Amino acid sequence: MIKRLSHAGIYVLDYDSAREFYTEKLGFQVRADMKMDGRFRWLTVGPADQPGLEIILMEPGPPQHDAETEKQLREIIAKGVLGMGAWDTDDCRETFRTLSARGVTFLQEPAERPYGIEAVFRDDSGNWFSLTERQEFDESKPWS
């Protein structure tokens, strides 16, 4: 049976730029950076506190995509319409200040939400993410 998610992918526009963004701005660790079969780059990163998760940073292109698909994916990524997930933090406002000082672009500053405190940022390719300080879920009020 399935036990857990070990890898998740994020399309990026440039490997080197993405590696720099995710490590220097977000503070992630490089987990792997190598050529696979001499054809494409296998670049993974992840947060230090989550060693069992590898985020695959992948440029669209061969061998997975033909030229037309690569062009379409690059346009969608650059358009900034892909929401790629949510990152947990213990202190959303402090993490917002730290990441802002490192040059991370935020679309929304930290704000109170029913599920906690959330800010929204973009990576250097245009993908957007939620940064969330979650509050405990109250089972007695699932829709409040």
pLDDT interval class at 136 (50, 70, 90) = confident
Strands of the sheet with 105-113, listed across from one edge: 83-88, 128-134, 116-122, 105-113
| pLDDT at site 38 | 76
pLDDT tens-place string over residues 116-127: 999 999 999 999
Give the single-character DSSP code of 15: H
Assigned fold of 7-134: 2,3-Dihydroxybiphenyl 1,2-Dioxygenase; domain 1 (3.10.180)
Which residues fall within 8 angstroms of residue 56, CB to CB, at 6 or more apart?
Answer: 7, 8, 9, 10, 42, 43, 44
Check: pTM over 0.85? Answer yes or no: yes
The stretch 130-139 carries a mean pLDDT of 83
Write the pLDDT tens digit of every residue in 39-94: 789 999 999 999 999 999 999 998 889 999 999 999 999 999 998 899 999 999 99
Domain ranges of the chain: 7-134
What pLDDT, in 10s, does the model give residues 105-116?
999 999 999 999
pLDDT at 55: 97
